[in-house]
Amino acid sequence: MSFTDRTSEFLDIAASIKHRKNLKDIKAPPKHARSQFNAGAAEIARQIHVTTEKLNKLTKLARRMSLFDDQGADIEDLTISITGDISLMNERIAQLQQIQQSQRQKKQMEQHAVCVMEALKGRLHDATSEFKGALKTRSENLKGQEERRNAFSTTTRNPSLQHSASVHIPMD
């Protein structure tokens, strides 16, 4: 059996890998810059999730059609909260986009950041659309409740019943 000494090949490969690693360290953007973008994107994604949960609760409340168990105060509180959340997330997405645009990045990292921004905007748009749908459902239900109230209140106001109630019967 014959052995070939390949130590020199190994050392050459190790040196080239070390050289490539040093080049990557020089070209890479600062770690805090990347982490700032990633942390901001993660926070916005978390806020979208929380807002979506609030939207689900609002939708359930808005679909209720009971005349006697109206959750108007809860619906109003959720509506105000969700409106504020959506406004805040729009501002944070704009800030995150400014951070992303101010950084000098490699093409692949820039494409990734653009994809992340588009995904966040899409999720926020979906949440906003769901919010509008829930508000529309609520207004339709309120209109239906008002129509039912009017229908019931007009049937009890029969003029013949009101006239008979006002008849005075003299006593001997």
pLDDT at 166 (0 to 100): 47
Judged by DSSP in three states, 85 sits in helix
Exposure class string for 16-43: b at 16+ Cβ within 10 A, else e: eeeeeeeeeeeeeeeeebbeebeebbee
Q: How far apart are CA 96 and CA 119, in angstroms?
A: 13
Q: Could you give phi then psi for residue 43, rounded to 5 degrees?
A: -65, -45
pLDDT at 123 over 60: yes
Residue 123 neighbours by CB under 8 Å, 6+ apart: 45, 48
Q: List, for residues 59-96, the tens digit of each pLDDT value.
A: 888 887 666 666 778 888 989 999 999 999 999 999 98
Cα angle 128-133-137, degrees, rounded to a multiple of 5: 150
Token readout for 158 is 């029969």
Q: How far apart are CA 4 and CA 7, in angstroms?
A: 9
Considering only the C-alpha atoms of the chain, give the largest distance between any 2 of them, rounded to a whole number of Å: 140
Helices (H), the chain: 7-27, 31-63, 72-102, 107-156, 159-165
CA torsion, points 46, 48, 53, 59, in degrees to nearest 10? 180
Q: List, for residues 14-54, the tens digit of each pLDDT value.
A: 888 877 766 555 555 555 555 788 889 999 999 999 999 99
Q: How far is CA 50 from the centre of its chain?
A: 7
